[in-house]
Amino acid sequence: MFEYCYTRGDNLEDWKIKISALWIIMTLAALIMTILMLMEPNVIEGIMAGEVLGEKITPEILLLAAIERLIPLIMAFLTLTLKDSINRWSNIIVGIVYTAFNIISMIGASAQGILMWASAAVSTVLIVWYAWKSKQKA
């Protein structure tokens, strides 16, 4: 099994595995950033008072946050299961959207925030690049 993985070379299926792993890396970077943010002074107190980053916490905000964190995990799975052409375009489009989100999240962030959001942005840029590159191999 392992011998097959190492000897098969860079075929068309490899891009799917790389992209799927990058979606997971992006999600982990965002989750780590959330944990680090909770360690900053007065953040927990603000959350307990019903606010985060100056915004009131509402059920709609929590739902949007859950969807935002769930989409990359769904993309990790779909990348391994969708047909190639739909797969490429969905990764390119969702990757560009998340790259924009990650870059916007860096604005006004702490040093650790910039590091984690930049890591997430690099992951999504690579997702777009691998998806685009795979189109040219086909």
Q: Tell me: the pLDDT tens digits for 20-42?
A: 999 999 999 999 999 998 998 98
**Residue 68 falls inside a structural domain:** yes
| Residue 134 pLDDT grade (very low, low, confident, very high; cuts 50, 70, 90) | confident
Alpha carbon distance 44, 58 (integer Å):
16
Domain of 116, in residue numbers: 13-137
**Residue 63 falls inside a structural domain:** yes
Whole-model pTM: value is 0.85
Residue 27, burial from CB neighbour count under 10 angstroms (0-12, 13-18, 19+): buried
**Residue 44 falls inside a structural domain:** yes
**Residue 52 falls inside a structural domain:** yes
Element (H, E) at 108: none
**Residue 2 falls inside a structural domain:** no
| Residue 138 pLDDT grade (very low, low, confident, very high; cuts 50, 70, 90) | low
**Residue 4 falls inside a structural domain:** no
**Residue 8 falls inside a structural domain:** no
> Under 8 Å CB-to-CB from 60, ≥6 apart: which residues?
none
Domains: count for the chain: 1
Residue 92, burial from CB neighbour count under 10 angstroms (0-12, 13-18, 19+): middle
**Residue 3 falls inside a structural domain:** no
